[in-house]
A and B are shown apart, each in its own frame.
Chain A
Amino acid sequence: DAKTTQPPSMDCAEGRAANLPCNHSTISGNEYVYWYRQIHSQGPQYIIHGLKNNETNEMASLIITEDRKSSTLILPHATLRDTAVYYCIVRVESKLTFGTGTRLQVTL
């Protein structure tokens, strides 16, 4: 099973870029990397996913290393509303398995 490792917490100043790392060294060739976030007591929200190439959407950018063993989620201009727990997930068969994620605190 591919599993992920994330730092438990990070801080970021408002307006600066937030770079959230994720290690998934056992990922297999056809497994996607997904990022979700969860604001306190709400359901997780999908952010972005990728396989090999870097991806960007209106919320964030995803940078995946060439060997696919790690990735970084980038929030280019963090705001207070980005304070949340961010989950990096790799599919295991037909289900997504969540770890404990990174708690991002955006401060003034």
Chain B
Amino acid sequence: DGGITQSPKYLFRKEGQNVTLSCEQNLNHDAMYWYRQDPGQGLRLIYYSQIVNDFQKGDIAEGYSVSREKKESFPLTVTSAQKNPTAFYLCASSIFWQGGANVLTFGAGSRLTVL
């Protein structure tokens, strides 16, 4: 079955440590996205990438970094510069947007807790 795999599902880290969250898709989608969700809140866009080796900042990119070396993979690093990293992180993918409709497919999420 095609889909998006996020790992790990749960992650605990000490304050000041960098953390990398994995996102892999086998949908042959060009675009990939990272969102952050805090309790009781909606989703906020961190970074997105429309094609390999290219990505753009979203609304809350500070303290995060990404890479897009392969079409299938879009890892997110939560750096020590992120002041409040405890959150639920969601990865999504879609076809390359050229106008018209664009439906996102989401992974199951990764819950990061910083102790």
Contact-residue bracket for chain B: 20 to 34
Q: Which residue of A lies closest to B104 (CB)?
A: A96
A95 contacts B33, C-beta separation under 8 Å:
yes
B interface residues with partner A (beta carbon < 8 Å): 4, 31, 33, 35, 40-45, 48, 50, 58-59, 88, 90, 92, 97, 99-109, 111
Cβ contact of B106, chosen from A30, A45, A95, cutoff 8 A: A45
> Complex: how many Å from CA A45 to CA B35?
14
**Residues of chain A in range 40-58 having any CB-CB distance to chain B below 8 Å:** 41-46, 49, 51
- The secondary structure that dominates the A interface is loop
Cβ contact of B35, chosen from A32, A98, A101, cutoff 8 A: A98
Q: A43-B90, A95-B58, A96-B104 are in contact. List 9 more A-B contacts (CB 8 A).
A: A42-B108, A43-B92, A44-B43, A46-B103, A46-B104, A87-B43, A95-B48, A96-B45, A97-B59
Chain A 76-102, CB within 8 Å of chain B: the 1/0 string?
000000000001000100111111110
A43 contacts B109, C-beta separation under 8 Å:
yes
A32 contacts B101, C-beta separation under 8 Å:
yes
> Closest CB of chain A to B40's CB: distance in Å?
8
> Complex: how many Å from CA A44 to CA B37?
11
B48 contacts A49, C-beta separation under 8 Å:
no
A-B contact pairs, 24 of them (CB 8 A): A30-B99, A32-B101, A36-B104, A43-B4, A43-B92, A43-B108, A43-B109, A44-B92, A45-B106, A46-B103, A46-B104, A46-B105, A51-B101, A94-B31, A94-B48, A94-B102, A95-B48, A96-B33, A96-B45, A96-B104, A98-B35, A98-B44, A99-B42, A101-B42
B42 contacts A100, C-beta separation under 8 Å:
yes
A91 contacts B106, C-beta separation under 8 Å:
no
Q: How many residues of A contact B (CB 8 A)?
A: 22
A interface residues with partner B (beta carbon < 8 Å): 30, 32, 34, 36, 41-46, 49, 51, 87, 91, 94-101
> Complex: how many Å from CA A42 to CA B43?
12
> Closest CB of chain B to A36's CB: distance in Å?
8
> Complex: how many Å from CA A42 to CA B107?
8
Q: Which residue of A lies closest to B109 (CB)?
A: A43
